[in-house]
Homo-oligomer: A and B are copies of this chain.
Amino acid sequence: MTNASSGLAVLADPTRRLILERLADGPQAVGELARGLPVSRPAVSQHLQALKSAGLVRDQAVGTRRVYQIDPAGLGAIRAWLDQFWDRAFDSFQAEVESEKKE
């Protein structure tokens, strides 16, 4: 699923954000990622699974290796939610300031 809810839940974990930051510099295989991270390879695998089902990464088999890269669609959904939320909050924020002025 590629909605903001699952995306935000996935972005909550610091290790998962680390993985995304690595992938933001270019595609990488699971082993490469694990070598640069403070957790085991299976842990990375599980995080990648979570990121994938949230639509934040794509994977591609290359021989025996499996290369992951960021999927912009997932990030877009989160940005959209945040932007829509921001607009709404800011509107009511200003409306509140206005109504307080009149008193």
Contact = CB atoms under 8 A, between A and B. Distances in A.
B8 A12 contact: yes
Contacts of A78: 82
Contacts of A11: 8, 11-12
Interface residues of A, number: 32
A28 B2 CA distance: 31
**Interface secondary structure of A, over-half rule:** helix
A103 interface: no
A72 interface: yes
Interface string A67-103: 0011010011011001101101110110110000000
Given A8-B11, A9-B12, A12-B11, A24 B89 contact: yes
